Structures are given as structure tokens and as C-alpha cells.
Amino acid sequence: MADFPPDFLWGAATSAYQIEGSLDADGRGRSVWDSFAELPGSVQGGGDARIACDSYRRWEEDLDILSDLGMRAYRFSLAWSRIMPDGRGRVNERALDHYERVIDELRRREIEPVVTLNHWDMPAALMTHGGWIGRDSVDAFVEYAVAASERLGDRVDWWITQNEPWIIQLLGYQLGLHAPGIRDLRGSAAAGHHLLLAHGRAADAMRSSTKGRIGVALNLLPCVPATDSAADAEAAWGSDGYVNRWFLDPLLRHGYPADMRAHWERAIGGPLDEIIRDGDEDAIAGRSDFLGVNFYTHRVMSAAPAGADRPFPWQVVGSTGEVDRTDESTEIVPDAFRDLLLRLHREYPGIPLMVTENGAVYGDSPTHDGAIHDVRRTRYLRSHISAMAEAIAGGAPLVGYTHWSLLDNFEWALGYRPRFGLVYVDFRTGERVVKDSALHYAEIVRAGGCIDGDDARPPQVDSMGAFG
């Protein structure tokens, strides 16, 4: 097993809308998630993000936790709707003042800021032009990216333009399960394309104001056939085109994969030429200095006929037999994580990789001693860090890992039930309690990624979650 590089960026991740709260502070505009959360039944439990983790006000407390844990990187997002409240035009300097303070304090603590520009919180004003379905969204995003990089670009070495464009496309515009709640197959194809085009155009526009590296964070899902049949193998390859290659190829090679383009054109009943215009693929290709990898699980695929409720000829069926799962029933497959990193190294050589999200839902809460003994998350962390070490041994150019998430938070349409955090948040009081998994992670970071000793026990904590 290879050692991790000495400059490896060990850290944790959050996003603005999921933790900040203070939705009416400092001139913030409405986002598409504000509107979506107001729709009855859109969020489990009827919750919203008005308070969330209250991190817009308590950000220094969160940075104290990062420092105490010895983290070397913090991936977080700027709130697009704070900086451009009207979607375009006016720049809200008070919002930029806030993020400048956060970044300066991270720098003072020697924690690398990894800054995401769009973590799903598009300004609601842009829905006038169709949101990401409308091509105007590209120009709006470029304006925002330039405003952010002109103010912050001299202090940020890692920029992520888009977080999980497939999820925005699928859940936001195809299935309507996320903001803005649209169900339009053709529109979803346009939205996904415009997200990538906005990345390319923004990367070009940002170069004059930052020397930082610019990339995209993709949620990548290895797709495996449910059986040994040729039909299931074809289904798995098609699914791979849908969730992985449709984004990887235009970003890291040149142009969309022909097989998946044919699937899309059959599904929407016509060519994509009105969406993917001449010159667009040129504007996307070669604009990524690194790739952010968000990994949670795989997709087990079976062939199935396309129909009214199934635009593509495959379906997710899940594994059979005994499989480790999270409390959200997500299959835990660290070997697939290792193989994905090696595949990216093999098929897209020369692109540095940063794991920008990886984590699990476990519902552990404080016990009689006030601590959270989340043994399963510790086991999950160890297995996935081992997978990264094996990928590095195989040559994968891995530069960092930011665990999802630093804090239990507002988990979008799932509300506050799923807990991903290394830190427990009492959503009634805002109190933070560092979980055992976080302390174990801190030990791994201090040891440079070494996880020897299967019986290693995390340090103990007192009832307030402090180191003991």
C-alpha cells in the first residue's frame, strides 16, 4: 500500500445552503431552494434551511473544530444568491465581505480553502429565463464567477465551478425531486449541457483574476451489470454513459460520447443540435485543471425496455445477498471506490483527482456520556481511506480528500433526518458535538493517512465533545 503524499489535502466539506441559515441576512436574494422548500411535501418533515446549522453566524466556531481536528483543507461553497441577489448585474459586496473574512481566517489557520461556486443554490430570479434550461444561465454564472474571483482569487488555490451537474439535471429538471422542481426530459438535457458550458466559459473568464486551479465536482457511480448476461452488460455501459461519461468525456476529452448522444436523441425524439451548438464542446474541453470526485456507492444495472416512465433501456436493481449498507440503505463498496479512481487515472490520464465528497448516513446520537460513538462511520472512513491508498499505489494522482460532511446539516429534500456529519448538530440549540469518527479521522490525518491497527480505538471525548 502506498503512502499518501506529504502535501495531501485532508479535510471536510459543507455547502452554503445546507449549513448557513440566515436566509435574509446581508442583502441575500432568494434561491431556487427557498421557493422549492415552500412547496408542501417537497422536503421530508416539512423543514427548510432558515436556520440549518446557523453557520453564517457561527462560522468561526466551525473553523475552530476544523483546526482542533488538524484538518488541512475545507471545501465549502459561496452562496450564489447572496453574491448576486438578482441573478445578474448588482454584486452584493456585503456577502463577499463575509466570505473574504472566512477565507482569510482559513489562511491564517493554514487550512486550504476549496471553494465551490454553484452547490445547487441558483438565484430564484434566474428562473424567469428557465433556470439552467435557458442559455442565459451561462452568462449569468460567468458574471457571478468573475465577481467572486476578482474579490477572492488571490487567496483561493482550488475552485470548483459546479457541484454534481448530473444531480441538478436529473433531480432538478428531469424528475422534479429537487429545486426547481421541473419535470422535462428535453429541458434536463439542456440544463446539464448549460452547466458544463458555464464551467468552460467561467474558467476562461476567471483566469485573469486567479492563479488557482479550476475544476468540476462530479458524482461518479460505477455501473455494474446485475448478471452475466450480455443485455445487463449493455445496460451497465449505457448507464455509465448516462451518469459518468456524459460529463467526463466533454470535460476531460473532447465532446459528448456518441453512444449516449444517440440514447438522448431517441429519448427526446430529435437531435440535440439546438441544445449543443457549434463551438460548445470546444468551449468545455480542456478547461479543467483537476477533477473533483464525489463518491458514495455504485449502480447495479439490469436491462429493461424503455417506456413512458423509463426514457432509457436500463434500470437500477441493487445487489442481491448480504451487502453492507448505511442507515439510508446505500450500499457500501470501497473496492468500487478504488477501482473508480484507477479507472479515472487510466482513461483520463494526467488529470489530478481530489475526492471532494465521500461519506455515509448513520443516525448515532449522544449516549449517556454525552458523546457520539459512531463506530460504523469510523469503519466506513477507514475502508475508504484504504481504498484511496490502494489507488495511489496503482498510480492514481490523488491530491486530497474532503469528507462529507463536517456537520450534520439540511440534507435537501430529505430534510434533517439523514446525518452525514463528523460533528453532531443539535438542531434545536445549534450545539456541536464532535463524534468519535471525527477524532479517529484526526488521528489518521496526524499519522499522514496511516490506518494500521484494525483494533485502533478513537480517543475519548467528554460530554461537550472536546478532546479528552
Residue 87 CA to residue 144 CA, distance in Å, equals 8
pLDDT at 1: 57
CA atoms in the 13 A half-sphere facing the CB of 325? 11
Take residue 218 and report the three cell numbers written for it: 462530479
Q: Pinpoint the alpha helices (H) of 359-462.
A: 375-393, 436-446
All residues at 6 or more sequence positions from 200 whose CB lies less than 8 Å from its CB, including other chains: 283, 284, 285, 287
Q: Is the pLDDT of residue 466 over 70?
A: no
**Residue type for position 35:** S
pLDDT at 144: 98
pLDDT at 358: 99
Take residue 136 and report the three cell numbers written for it: 442565459
pLDDT at 313: 98
For residue 255, report the phi and psi dihedrals to the nearest 5 degrees: 95, 160
**Residue type for position 96:** L
Q: Is the pLDDT of residue 468 over 50?
A: no
pLDDT at 5: 96
Q: Is the pLDDT of residue 460 over 70?
A: no
CB 148 within 8 A of CB 205: no
Mean pLDDT, range 47-71, rounded to an integer: 98
Take residue 92 and report the three cell numbers written for it: 452584493
Take residue 87 and report the three cell numbers written for it: 441573478
Cα distances (angstroms) measured from residue 99 to each of 73, 80, 102, 118: 16, 12, 5, 14
Q: Which listed residue (20, 143, 357, 411) is catalytic?
A: 357
Take residue 253 and report the three cell numbers written for it: 476529452
pLDDT at 467: 30
pLDDT at 452: 73
Q: Is 321 exposed, middle or buried (0-12, 13-18, 19+ CB in 10 A)?
A: exposed
pLDDT single digits (tens) 257-315? 999 999 999 999 999 999 999 999 999 999 999 999 999 999 999 999 999 889 999 99
Alpha carbon 189 to chain centroid, angstroms: 20
Q: Is the pLDDT of residue 131 over 70?
A: yes
Q: Is 275 exposed, middle or buried (0-12, 13-18, 19+ CB in 10 A)?
A: buried
The cell 448478471 sits on which residue?
227
β-strands 314-316, 299-303: how paired? antiparallel
Task: Mark whether 164 is an active-site residue.
Answer: yes
The whole model's pTM is what?
0.96
Work out the pLDDT band at 453, boundaries 50, 70, 90: low
pLDDT single digits (tens) 133-143? 999 999 999 99
Q: Is the pLDDT of residue 463 over 80?
A: no
Q: Pinpoint the alpha helices (H) of 293-434.
A: 334-347, 375-393
Task: Mark whether 322 is an active-site residue.
Answer: no
Q: Which listed residue (20, 143, 164, 411) is catalytic?
A: 164
Of 395, 359, 356, 381, which Cα lies nearest the Cα of 5? Answer: 395
The cell 458550458 sits on which residue?
197
Residue 256 CA to residue 304 CA, distance in Å, equals 24
Work out the pLDDT band at 456, boundaries 50, 70, 90: very low
Domains of the chain: 9-446 (3.20.20.80)
Residue 72 CA to residue 66 CA, distance in Å, equals 8
Mean pLDDT, range 149-160, rounded to an integer: 98
Share of the chain above pLDDT 90, in %: 94
Mean residue pLDDT across the chain:
96
CB 423 within 8 A of CB 406: yes
Of 223, 202, 350, 343, which Cα lies nearest the Cα of 290? Answer: 350
pLDDT at 464: 35
Radius of gyration of the chain (CA): 21
CB 432 within 8 A of CB 65: yes
**Can you list the pairs that 100-104 forms with residues at least 24 positions away whose Cβ atoms lie under 8 Å?**
100/151, 100/152, 100/155, 102/59, 102/63, 102/76, 103/152, 103/155, 103/156, 104/155
pLDDT single digits (tens) 391-439? 999 999 999 999 999 999 999 999 999 999 999 999 999 999 999 999 9
Run of H or E including 219 = strand 213-219
List of E strands, 271-416: 290-294, 299-303, 314-316, 353-357, 398-404
pLDDT at 174: 98
Residues 444, 447, 453: CA angle, nearest 5 degrees: 65
CB 177 within 8 A of CB 265: no
Mean pLDDT, range 205-224, rounded to an integer: 98
Work out the pLDDT band at 336, boundaries 50, 70, 90: very high
Of 312, 55, 348, which Cα lies nearest the Cα of 216? Answer: 348
